């Protein structure tokens, strides 16, 4: 008889605890976040039953949206990413919350360097990309905040021209600099990650960054994110994006 691994159970339990902690402050944000109703064992798997959240997948909505609606959706998408840091998770370190063998540090830069180094090494790119240079270019945040890190259009729901929910809080979420989520949201509009996004969408996104004083940080965030995802061997499109952004030959 097959048995559910302790690792799988631990992973689900850790995510459930994180979501429970986040939901204590869900009234601080203007969008819904997941709520676990129950945890079950089905066909030798641990699964969670979650409350149905309002809206449709933002990536799909962008495919057929008119220019006016999609412009509003892009702004709502970025406004939402910027508000994720309003969710409160208190820790006395920077780094990953529930990942196996989490990378953590006393400063955000220390975390950025350690994670970039680990991911580049796993992706066979250590020595080809300078993790220290990528990390040292980031200004230390004034205070630690919750960071989703995977808030791309596929992990948001929208209704009309407004984002209604953010999904997939979990293994890569961390304690860091809240500015990273909106910067990552712009980076994730690249065609390798969000094929339904257009050049016009990306132009609107960069205008949004400029209006909030975040554009000077974009290149630094862009390269660190590419380093972060550079061990994604199971996703050829994402890996190709990493190599392009880091300026190295295609895999």
pLDDT in tens, 4-31: 445 556 788 888 899 999 999 999 999 9
**Can you tell me which residue has the tokens 């339904």?**
196
The domain limits of the chain are 54-246
Q: What pLDDT, on a 0 to 100 scale, did the predictor assign at position 13? A: 85
Rounded to an integer, the average pLDDT of 36-41 is 83
DSSP annotation string for 209-229: HHHTT-GGGHHHHHHHHHHHT
Distance CA 197, CA 188 (A): 9
Q: Is 20 helix (H, G, I), strand (E, B) or coil?
A: helix
pLDDT band, very low/low/confident/very high, at 48 (cuts 50, 70, 90) = confident
Mean pLDDT value across the chain: 92
Architecture of domain 54-246: Alpha-Beta Complex (3.90)
Rounded to an integer, the average pLDDT of 160-173 is 95
Distance CA 48, CA 37 (A): 7
Enter the tokens of residue 106: 């006393």
Tens-digit pLDDT profile for residues 210-251: 999 999 999 999 999 999 999 999 999 999 999 999 998 754
Tens-digit pLDDT profile for residues 65-80: 999 999 999 999 999 9
């Amino acid at each position: 008889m097959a048995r559910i691994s302790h690792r799988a159970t631990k992973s689900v339990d850790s995510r459930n605890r994180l979501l429970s902690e986040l939901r204590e402050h869900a009234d601080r944000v203007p969008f819904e976040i997941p709520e676990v109703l129950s945890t079950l064992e089905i066909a030798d798997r641990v699964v969670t039953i979650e409350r149905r959240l309002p809206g449709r997948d933002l990536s799909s909505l962008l495919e057929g949206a008119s220019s006016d609606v999609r412009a509003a959706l892009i702004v709502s998408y970025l406004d939402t990413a910027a508000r994720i840091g309003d969710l409160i998770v208190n820790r006395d370190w920077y780094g990953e919350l529930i990942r196996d063998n989490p990378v953590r540090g006393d400063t955000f830069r220390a975390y950025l360097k350690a994670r970039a180094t680990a991911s580049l090494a796993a992706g066979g790119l250590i020595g080809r990309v300078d993790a220290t240079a990528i990390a040292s270019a980031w200004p230390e945040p004034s205070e630690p905040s919750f960071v989703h890190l995977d808030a791309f259009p596929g992990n948001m729901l929208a209704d009309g021209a407004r984002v209604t929910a953010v999904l997939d809080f979990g293994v890569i979420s961390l304690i860091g600099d809240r500015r990273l989520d909106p910067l990552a949201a712009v980076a994730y509009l690249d065609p390798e990650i969000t094929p339904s996004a257009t050049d016009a969408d990306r132009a609107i996104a960069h205008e949004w960054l400029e209006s909030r004083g975040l554009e000077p940080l974009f290149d630094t965030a862009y390269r660190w994110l590419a380093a972060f995802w550079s061990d994604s061997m199971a996703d050829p499109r994402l890996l190709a994006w990493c190599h392009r952004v880091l300026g190295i030959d295609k895999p």
